[in-house]
Amino acid sequence: MRSKKTSLGKGLSSILGNNILVEKKDSLNTNIKQIELSKIQLNPFQPRKNFDLEKLNELAISIEQLGVIQPITVRKMNNDEYQLISGERRLRASKIAEFKNIPAFIRVANDKEMLEMALVENIQREDLNPIEIALSYKRLISEVKLTQEQCSERVGKNRSTVTNFLRLLKLPSEIQKGLKEKLISNGHARALLAVNNKNSQINIYHDIINFGYSVREVEQISKDFSEREYFRISKKIKKTNLTNLSFSQQKIIHEISRKISQNVEVKRNKNGTGKILIQFNNDTELNDILNSIN
Residues marked active site are found at: 88
Task: For residue 8, give the DSSP letter.
Answer: P
- Phi and psi at residue 103, in whole multiples of 5°? -75, 140
Q: Helical H runs in 17-129?
A: 53-66, 88-96, 111-123
Task: For residue 105, give the DSSP letter.
Answer: E
Whole-angstrom distance, CA of residue 128 vs CA of residue 186? 12
Whole-angstrom distance, CA of residue 37 vs CA of residue 51? 18
H-helix or E-strand spanning residue 267:
strand 264-268
3-state helix, strand, coil in the chain (%, to 5): 50, 10, 40
Q: Is there a contact between 215 and 188 (Cβ–Cβ < 8 Å)?
A: yes
Whole-angstrom distance, CA of residue 125 vs CA of residue 143? 20
Least Cα distance to 63 among 118, 126, 2 occurs for 2
CA neighbours within 13 Å on the CB side: how many for 221? 34
H-helix or E-strand spanning residue 272:
none
Whole-angstrom distance, CA of residue 80 vs CA of residue 91? 18
